[in-house]
Structure 1
Amino acid sequence: MATATPFNPKSMVDSAWKIIPFFQSRDIHATVLLYTQELGFTLGSEEPHFASLFAGPKAASNIYFSLCREESEFRASSAMLALGTEQHEALYAGLLARRNQSKDETFEIVEEIRDQEWGFRQFSIKDRDGNRLTFFRFLEGSNGEELWAGE
């Protein structure tokens, strides 16, 4: 009689190669404009009730958005995005300049850039729907530069 292999979820989830947060949006098209024009994401697809946006090599960072029309059901979400050292600093400087020059509040910087005791340098923004993105880089070690070396 064959012995059953014990259930080992770790061996299964160790095959993970991507995680995709799912955010809600009150206006899919406005969300797409913010994330593509202001934050530099690439549009994967846009439908009336759904959008897929991505960034990074091989679409390493994805965010899916679904339309939520019922205010009582709306829940803001958050995610963290790791960036290269120079890109992190340049994105912050650019977003700060846009915030200071624009009257249109498509996003809000809710955490100014700073070093954290846990080894990140980070800043956070919120979109019009209250979804929060924290952009970070490691203070020491790899910041992914090897992923786009030679591009």
Structure 2
Amino acid sequence: MSVNSKLDRIDRKILEILQSNAKITNAQLSKEIGLSPAPTLERVKKLENSGIIKSYHATLDTDKIGLGVSTFVLVSLKGHNKDNIEKFVEAIHTINEVVECHHITGTGDFILKIITEDISKYQQLMLEKVSDIPVVDSMQSMVILSTFKDRKVLPVPE
């Protein structure tokens, strides 16, 4: 089930519903998709076992838990080679405040999403951890002032 052509209308509906509400009961899910509970559960298990559904998470309100500063950081490495990329990625995995790390094309090599308590914690993180990674050449920070769309539900192609 690795190719989306194997996803039928019901599978796509299950994925849409579970992305919006992962806590839905199997009974309620079965009502919403129009199948009985047993085949519904079988379809969900198949989607999980195939790796299409990777995991389930709770989405937290960053302000309510004291994480007030979110930034994107464009990072360029000293050399764009396999060894430097591996060293950078290994180092980034040790920094909990880096919540996303994407290898990109364009001006930089990576874009990071970093979330911290406040601007002083952000500055400390950048000075003591991110800029301290030996293969980092330059960084450009972009503080997120407002977020107008943060969609967690992916569009599932037909």
> TM-score category by the smaller chain?
under 0.3
Higher relative contact order (CA 8 A, sep 6+): 2
TM-score by length of 2: 0.27
- Highest Rg: 1 or 2? 2
Structure number having the greater strand percentage: 1
Structure number having the greater helix percentage: 2
